[in-house]
Structures are given as C-alpha cells and as structure tokens.
Amino acid sequence: MAEKMIGRYEIQGELGRGAMGLVYKAYDPVLERHAAIKVMTTSGEMDDELRARFFREARSAARLSNPNIIAIFDMGDDQNRPFIAMEFVEGEDLKALIRQRVFVPFGRKLEVISQICRALHYAHKQGVIHRDIKPGNIRLTPEGQVKILDFGLARLGASDMTRTGTLMGTPYYMSPEQARGARDIDGRSDLFSVGVILYEFLCYRRPFEADSPTAVCYQIIAEPHSPISAHLPGCD
C-alpha cells in the first residue's frame, strides 16, 4: 500500500532507496513547502541501536548550515518508524551525469569539486564527517549549485555508535583506512573520496575496479591506480 502521510507530511512519491531506508518527496502543509523524507526501514535485533544512531546522526546533520549541504528540517517517529525531513532540491546527481557521459567543461568540473571541498571543510570544522562521499550523494541544481546529500548518515568524529566491525561507505570511493575497517576515521577520509570522484569525473572511469567489494578494498589498500594521464592524454 502506497504511503499517504508520514507524520504531518503528505507523501507525493518515492525518490529513492538506500541502505537504511526509503526517501520520499513530500509536502509540509504547516510550513507550505516541499521536503524529502527519509524513513528508516531496517529491522531486526539491532533496531534499538540503529534507531539511536539514526536520531543521533540526524542531530549531527542538523547542526550544519551551509549552502552546499542539504538542510535538515525535522525528525520524528511515525508508526514506530523514525524519519528525517530534509530540504528538497530539484536537479540530478553527479552519478547520472557521469554515467551519461554528458560533456562538462573542465573549468565547470573543477568548480563542482571546489564546492564539494568547501562544504566538507565547513562540516569538518563542525566535527561532522560524511563517510560516504560518492557521486550519488552529490546533487547539482538547475542553477549549477552543488548540494551534498546523506549527511544523515554522518557521524560525529568523537561518536562511537557504529557496531564493531561494521564497514560503512561505498567500496569504490572508500579511503584506505575505511577499506581496512578502521573506526577512527577523520575528515581526510572524505577528501580521499573526493579525489576518487574527481578522477572519475575527468576520466569517466573509476580508479579502482573489481568484481567484488572485497577485491575493490584490496585494490584501494594495496594496488596503485593508473594515473589520470593514462586515460586523459595531456593531463599530467
């Protein structure tokens, strides 16, 4: 049965699915604006822990106020399902742009990366690390502005809420320390991921490719990637 309401929000359609839940486009009749609603759908014996982490991470993200970061409006619980209400932004993600091999001038590519870096610099100064920077979490508005999504999965640098052994993040864009399963990740890990995005944005191929997540992690840790100039002549 299709969702009609989540909290006070009127659901207008599904936007996507992630590891921790579903994302809907919604309308807030109280403030008369659209929002993106992320609903936690994970179930099982770890529900209490995941619920606590979900809200903790929402509070971390809500501390951030930056034009290049999706804003958190609200959070709550609907029929025992935690949710976060976020800023809704039109546009398409960088993943789609790369997949379609849309021509983007070199200077524009650097401006996109620059906006990402400025947003992360701000977040890191607030003690918030994203941990899953990837093209699918980078939205480009019709006006050309970058918006980083999914800071709802970020954790405070000092937080220790993740279960032992849990490896968070997208393998292709992981830093070496993430690939090793390290728990003491800092902002440098996000910057490594930005470097991988820049490589892919320029070459339309990722620096680390393999048949399984484990093999990708091994490449990141132990194998050198080919230089950008190997795929983009003249870029030394």
Catalytic residues: 132
Tokens of 230: 């190997």
CA angle, 122 as apex, 196 and 59 as ends, to 5°?
Answer: 100
Q: Sign (positive/negative) of CA torsion 96, 1, 72, 59?
A: negative
